[in-house]
Amino acid sequence: MIPESLEFCWGIVSEGTPLEGSRLVVDVLPVVVHCAPCGQDATLDGMQSFRCPRCGELCAEIRQGRELEIDSIEIDDGEVKP
Ligand SMILES: [Zn+2]
């Protein structure tokens, strides 16, 4: 699975850098396509088939699932909060 591979590799590439010991958390979003015949967006079960789950039509218009974004970065400054 790709998220597990990324998280594993993060440990290797961050070794010896200021990010050593940090944790990469990957959140996988489902692929959402737009089906023109249905006039609606549909969530796909997987990447094996880009067919609308309602009508079976092929859907090429991806509405979600291509993005690769950094959602947040948390930094612990080491200070103990009262
Ligand atoms: Zn459809």
* Strand 32-35 to 40-43 pairing: antiparallel
35 and 64 assigned to the same domain: yes
CA of 32 to the centre of ligand 1 (A): 12
Q: Say yes or no to pLDDT of 81 above 70.
A: no
Average pLDDT over residues 23-32: 91
Q: Which residue range(s) make up the domain with 59?
A: 31-68
35 and 62 assigned to the same domain: yes
Tell me the pLDDT tens digit for each residue of 3-23.
Answer: 889 899 999 999 999 999 999
CA of 51 to the centre of ligand 1 (A): 8
CA of 63 to the centre of ligand 1 (A): 14
CA of 58 to the centre of ligand 1 (A): 8
Across-strand partners of 34?
41, 61
37 and 23 assigned to the same domain: no
Higher-confidence residue of 40 and 65: namely: 40
CA of 37 to the centre of ligand 1 (A): 5
- Residue 78 counted as domain residue: no
8 Å CB contact between 41 and 34: yes
Structure-token match 């249905």, residue found:
38
Q: How confident is the model at residue 82 (pLDDT cuts 50, 70, 90)?
A: low
Tell me the pLDDT tens digit for each residue of 49-78.
Answer: 999 999 999 999 999 988 888 989 888 777
CA of 26 to the centre of ligand 1 (A): 30
Q: Return the sign of the alpha-carbon dihedral for residues 30, 35, 41, 45.
A: negative
The model's pTM: 0.66
Helix (H) or strand (E) holding 12: helix 2-13
